[in-house]
Amino acid sequence: MIKPRTPPGVMELLPRDQVAFQRMLDTIRQTFERFGFLPVETPVMELSEVLLTKSGGETERQVYFVQSTGALEKSGEGLPELALRFDLTVPLARYVAEHEHELAFPFRRYQMQRVYRGERAQRGRFREFYQCDIDVVGKDVLSTRFDAEIPAVIAAVFERLAIGEFTIQLNHRKLLRGYFEGLGIEGEAQFAVLRELDKLDKRGEDAVRATLAGDGFGLAGEAIDRLMAFARVRSHGHDDALAKLDALGSGTALFEEGRAELGAILRQLRALGVDEARYAINLSIARGLDYYTGVVYETTLDAYPQIGSICSGGRYDNLASHYSKSKLPGVGISIGLTRLFYQLREAGLVGTVDSSVDVLVALLDDAGLEAALVMSQQLRAAGLNVETQLEPRKLARQMQYADKAGIRFVAMRGEDEAARGVVAVKDLRRGQQFEVAGHELAAALLQARELREGALA
């Protein structure tokens, strides 16, 4: 007999945890749609030649390739034809390039699907995980005003998820690269320095200093000191962020362009009503990927910095350069929901929730089956989620079943209740039982559900 077990690096949940995860997905989806984003889904498999254009060697080592049994028999040299997507950005680039003439620009899309990476198996790292992305893609040009809307959406998402205090940290690649220019760091060396600065929180200042002074960089001590001082800049509050941008001193044309754009984003966030405690500048954030060209974002939970970034993204000049001659600039952000849910659950910030079933209609004896079925259908018609017991069991066992499954209410109508035109309802969360007129049962349960959902919102 084969031992049943899940492969490493996947998150498989029991039903009540899955309900909690699904509610997070629903909240994110509703918020994305509230800001006018449209849903897109792409195939889990992409052509290998399409998927690997962005990657380079590091990504290729994490890609899962797909091969049918028939193709295996005929396999020759070279990569398999198909591979599982490792993010949602490359599929978006292919999608926009392929459907460019059918889309309305700026194209506002959200996508919430699983992606796959060959991560080294370890606690909290996943090979299969959900990403929840939003992007705005322009044709030829895209106003930088969209750069402020993206963090406003994310602020709304995390406010609604109620996962604790959070900060959306912002920096700007033009500001960084312009500062590097002022230090004489040019060309490809800028991207290498960017990647090192992005490791400050993980490696620490001493390690990054040593790398920048060593082989491959050889930066002078004064230049490293200035880089470290620049990377230490943090803000606390809206006015402080603007003041710290002003205090950076004059710089190159690219530096000034980045400062102006970042300042405009901050002012627009205030106009959008985002709480100033929810955003800050952090000039150490660089985002390791080279294709970011403007603002970059990282979101952290204030009380759990060890979790790291729970949401990140930024502005890019040309999303689909590998697939189209058109210039398609964009800005976007991604929530790694599987990892976030796992970390929140480990930290005790996500508890077990009730079932998505609102009420269990009990069956006391075979004679009551028809009445139980009629009641169940009436409750469903009113908009409730209902499970019906189809075989009579001792009432205590039906209560135990409902409690274990997370169903809060049990509706019971025996001969006595039927004669009086009432239904007995047991509230398993409060340990209380009450009676309600049969024609008022649906309204009473709907009101209880609205109170529960209001508490969760």
Q: Print pLDDT tens along the chain (457 aa).
A: 999 998 888 999 999 999 999 999 999 999 999 999 999 999 999 999 888 875 444 556 789 998 877 766 666 667 788 999 999 999 999 999 999 999 999 999 999 999 999 877 777 789 999 999 999 999 999 999 999 999 999 999 999 999 889 999 999 999 999 999 998 888 888 888 888 888 887 888 889 888 888 888 888 888 899 999 998 999 999 999 999 999 999 999 999 999 999 999 999 999 999 999 999 999 998 876 667 899 999 999 998 888 888 999 999 998 888 899 999 999 999 999 999 999 888 888 887 789 999 999 999 999 999 999 999 999 999 999 999 999 999 999 999 999 999 999 999 999 999 999 999 999 999 999 999 999 999 999 999 888 776 655 5
Judgement on whether residues 177 and 241 belong to the same structural domain of the protein: yes
Residue 129 CA to residue 82 CA, distance in Å, equals 19
Q: Does residue 171 share a domain with residue 319?
A: yes
Cβ-in-10-Å burial (0-12, 13-18, 19+) of 134 comes to: buried
- Is residue 66 domain-resident? no
Does this model's pTM top 0.85? My answer is yes
> For the chain, what is the domain count?
2
Q: Which residue from 410, 375, 414 is spatially nearest to 396, judged by alpha carbons? A: 410
Provide the 8-state DSSP code for 83. Answer: E
> Alpha-carbon distance 339 to 417, whole Å?
49
Question: What sign results for the dihedral spanned by CA atoms 196, 197, 198, 202?
Answer: positive
Pairing of strands 292-301, 409-412: unpaired
Same domain, yes or no: 329 and 447: no
| H or E element in which residue 15 lies | helix 15-34
pLDDT the model gives residue 259: 97
- For residue 88, what are the CA distances in angstroms to 168, 243, 334? 21, 37, 9
Of 284, 319, 346, the last residue of a domain is: 346
| Final residue in a domain of this structure, among 288, 318, 346 | 346
Statement to judge: residues 325 and 189 lie in one domain: yes
Q: Which helix (H) or strand (E) holds 417?
A: helix 415-420
Residues 365 and 315 in one domain: no
Do residues 214 and 269 share a domain? yes
Q: Is residue 310 part of a domain?
A: yes
Residue 54: what pLDDT? 56
What pLDDT, on the 0 to 100 scale, is given for residue 111? 98
The boundaries of the domain holding residue 418 are 359-456
Instruction: List the CATH number of the domain containing 198.
Output: 3.30.930.10
Task: Examine the domain organization and report whether 217 and 284 are in the same domain.
Answer: yes
Helix (H, G, I), strand (E, B) or coil at 410: strand
Final residue of a domain: which of 346, 372, 392?
Answer: 346
